[in-house]
Structure 1
Amino acid sequence: MKLFLIMFVILFGFSYDKAYGKGSLDIDIKLKALNKPALKTIKSQDGDIIDCIDIYKQHAFDHPALKNHKIQMKPSIEFGEKKTNKIPNNGSSEQITSQIWSKSGDCPDGTIPVRRVSREDIRRASSPSQFGRKSPHRYNYLDNALHQRKGKFNFTAAKRNHSGPIFRSEAFIVALGFNFVGAKSDINVWSPPRVQPSDYSSAQTWLLGGVSSDKFESIEAGWMVNPGVFGDYRTRLFISWTKDGYKTTGCINLLCSGFVQTTKSFALGAVIEPVSSSSRTQYIITISVFLDPNTGNWWMPSGNNVLGYWPGTLFNSLKHSATAVQWGGEVHSPNILKKPHTVTSMGSGQWANYLYGEACYHTNLRIKDYSMQLKYPKYLNEYTDESNCYTTKLHRKTYMSEPRFYFGGPGRNRYCP
């Protein structure tokens, strides 16, 4: 009988792959892990399908470190967020407080909204195991960041000491020299032009930990356009994390287990609209990440909503604090630092020195260290991997005054062939 069952499984697997293509079984396994049974399904106007999943049966709890995790429904402390409504220059901006799918319905209490993943989504990845994952990266400056005072050192030289292939081009400012337990900013939302099918473009905040440049720990959040993952060129809310420089851990949104979602109002990976346009209203989202010192969990509040948290058990160094905070943007492409360079743009696609109404920006930047005071960062370093492709501009009225940061660029151009 056992022999018969073994032969049946082998023959079934062979005929299944023959009928549906190599890797179909792996895709089915991945789909089953990601698409949990829904208590309610919402068909969004933008084409997304949103499943309302039992909050206690979400994908997060498939992670081995969360096997016996007791869900924390809200932070144990107030994070001290206050809306400042400070806007660069005299332009107008508007906070985005909902997503398109919510116009078609809402999820019941006790559930979370999760964007359904399709077979076609996974097929676009190099393999089901790589779906939604970022490529390995390194931040050489982290090797020395803990030993610096207020971030005053040759950051550019430290950052450029790369080894191995590079698939990311970044433009950001970084705060160093403290133990950070929180950070936030307002980011204006754009639809960056010319994003290529194999690329993605993001505007985001990073909180980094660890003292190893190639095994850094990272929590990230912002907006991105990622046709490889989402199958379109729309701007979407995203988060990401890793424990080892994206070598083997972490992913975008809920495409691997880890992040615990608690809100029923926002869906990670869902479309953000409207987006900003040149010389018109700038639409912004507030990205915040704060450590709950009583639990070691990193929470992501946004306005009046709290999206959820990264459990402290996912990390080592980030259990206690972050070593660095970055604000800026990122382009991922196989055509970084090559000729011809990718035409994928960053931010709005305009240079940073175009400033308000034209360039992408982070404003109302805040950090929290162990003084537990929410304040703007005084000591900042600017960095860009490819200054002829993507630029930065740190704007302050006076030395050490409140920063506003602009970044972005067109990618390939006459100076970035």
Structure 2
Amino acid sequence: MLIIIFLYLYLATNNYYIVDARITSISQDQEDLDLERQLKLINKPPRKTIQANGYIVDCIDINKQPAFDNPLLKNHKIQLKPSFEVTSIESTRLSSIGIEEDLCPAGTVPIRRTTKDDLIRAKQLPDKNISILNNDIPGRHYAGLKLNKDGSHYFAISGIIDTYNLPVQNPDQITSAYIYLSNGGSENDKNVIMTGWEDPETKNWWVMLQNKSLGYYPEVLFSNLAFANLGGWTGMTSTPTGIPSPPMGSGHLPDNNLLRSCYIRQMHFQIDTSKNLGPIKDVYAVPFKDSSCYGVQYEGWNDEIQGFAMLFGGPGGNCGE
């Protein structure tokens, strides 16, 4: 239809065609300028540049990293390491990715350089692509395990998520899995963090991988997350109205087979003490799902490698609203 209209305008009057072409060109040029401005703001001047895995990684002065563009962090003092140690979570060694940690000079942090294509892809992501157990959104479904002991305050949550590259039929579809803590407030005052450990001294929320501290979200960024009263491990799918839901997890319903079903293992959380706990079914956590298209199966404690684990997922399809 757009092609037909365009040809009609061209045949009707050359003036229409010229004006239309100029507007399109200006609009595209303006968008390119906007993207270039964003790139200049995001990509700070590096002290060193590294080529790694097909990407450009810049070594940025730790005090000039993009996070400090946020006015809330104007007077923030960087915390170089957490005041606590995480030592009880065991995991097999992951394949090496990224860069060696000592390639950047002291006093700098490695940041992958953002490209114009990155910004374009970010703009194409659907709105509200992540929402914590919001069943009011049409086409959204969950299957997982949620912490539910009344009166508990949660200060940390963790786990290792099995991942699959599942096909989707529509660019607006989502299939994902995540770990979260939330204060459970209203939509206008709800603070959520996707996996983290709260530092008991600074109240910053640290992200850890294989017992290593990757970085943290400063406490000042949250309006209402001194502690969390909700949390969990879940799979989630989302699809536009009228389009069948995509698969979740491995695309198979849980069937006691870790080689077939998607899983989250080494599931831990912390309450008021610093001791790591596993999700004890019916005491601290309960399985949930909202559609027959997906399932969840809590395995409890397995062994030192799997730890506390759950299976989740399903084929998707016409799951209902």
TM-score when normalising by structure 2: 0.78
Cα distance in 2 for partners of 1:58, 1:328 equals 32
- Aligned identity (percent) is 31
Counterpart position of 1:347: 249
Counterpart position of 1:312: 219
Report the residue type matching 1:409 in the other structure: G
Cα distance in 2 for partners of 1:187, 1:416 equals 27
Counterpart position of 1:68: 75
Residue 34 of structure 1 deviates from its aligned partner by 2.0
Counterpart position of 2:258: 356
When residues 133 and 48 of structure 1 are mapped into structure 2, their CA distance, relative to the original with a 3 A threshold, is: farther
- Higher-RCO chain (CA-CA 8 Å, sequence separation at least 6): 1
* Equivalent residue in structure 1 for 2:104, among 103, 107, 113: 107
Residue 73 of structure 1 deviates from its aligned partner by 0.2
Q: How does 1:23-34 map to 2 (within 5 A)?
A: 23-34=31-42
Q: Is the 8 A contact 2:237 2:245 kept in 1?
A: no
Report the residue type matching 1:123 in the other structure: I
Cα distance in 2 for partners of 1:195, 1:106 equals 41
Q: Is the 8 A contact 2:265 2:310 kept in 1?
A: yes
Cα distance in 1 for partners of 2:309, 2:177 equals 15
Deviations 1:274-298 (A, max 9, x none): xxxxxxxxxxxxxxx2111111101
Cα distance in 1 for partners of 2:79, 2:101 equals 29
Counterpart position of 1:183: 157
Counterpart position of 1:322: 228
Residue 22 of structure 1 deviates from its aligned partner by 4.0
Deviations 1:44-81 (A, max 9, x none): 33x332222222111111111111100000012224x3
Cα distance in 1 for partners of 2:23, 2:106 equals 43
Larger Rg computed on CA atoms = 2
Q: Is the 8 A contact 1:205 1:220 kept in 2?
A: yes
Task: Give me the CA root mean square deviation.
Answer: 3.3
* Equivalent residue in structure 1 for 2:146, among 133, 154, 174: 174
Larger deviation, residues 307-316 vs 115-124: 115-124
Structure 2: segments with no counterpart, 5+ residues? 1-21
Report the residue type matching 2:119 in the other structure: I
* Equivalent residue in structure 1 for 2:192, among 211, 218, 221: 218
Q: Is the 8 A contact 1:193 1:348 kept in 2?
A: no
* Equivalent residue in structure 1 for 2:62, among 55, 60, 71: 55
Residue 206 of structure 1 deviates from its aligned partner by 0.5
Counterpart position of 1:154: none
Q: How does 1:266-415 map to 2 (within 5 A)?
A: 289-318=196-225, 320-333=226-239, 335=240, 338-343=241-246, 345-353=247-255, 355-378=257-280, 379-388=284-293, 390-396=294-300, 403-412=308-317
Q: Is the 8 A contact 2:268 2:308 kept in 1?
A: no
When residues 105 and 314 of structure 1 are mapped into structure 2, their CA distance, relative to the original with a 3 A threshold, is: closer
Q: Secondary structure at the match of 2:103?
A: coil
Q: Which runs of 4+ in 1 moved over 6 A?
A: 14-17
Residue 16 of structure 1 deviates from its aligned partner by 12
Q: Is the 8 A contact 1:169 1:386 kept in 2?
A: yes
Structure 1: segments with no counterpart, 5+ residues? 1-13, 86-93, 140-158, 222-288
Cα distance in 1 for partners of 2:24, 2:62 equals 33
Cα distance in 2 for partners of 1:106, 1:50 equals 10
When residues 103 and 215 of structure 1 are mapped into structure 2, their CA distance, relative to the original with a 3 A threshold, is: same
Q: Is the 8 A contact 1:137 1:214 kept in 2?
A: no
When residues 64 and 340 of structure 1 are mapped into structure 2, their CA distance, relative to the original with a 3 A threshold, is: same
Counterpart position of 1:7: none
Q: Is the 8 A contact 1:174 1:382 kept in 2?
A: yes
Q: In the alignment, is residue 116 of structure 1 matched against residue 113 of structure 2?
A: yes
Report the residue type matching 1:203 in the other structure: A
Report the residue type matching 1:340 in the other structure: I
When residues 105 and 83 of structure 1 are mapped into structure 2, their CA distance, relative to the original with a 3 A threshold, is: closer
Q: Secondary structure at the match of 1:23?
A: helix
Counterpart position of 2:93: 95
When residues 34 and 134 of structure 1 are mapped into structure 2, their CA distance, relative to the original with a 3 A threshold, is: farther
Q: Is the 8 A contact 1:209 1:321 kept in 2?
A: yes
Residue 308 of structure 1 deviates from its aligned partner by 0.5
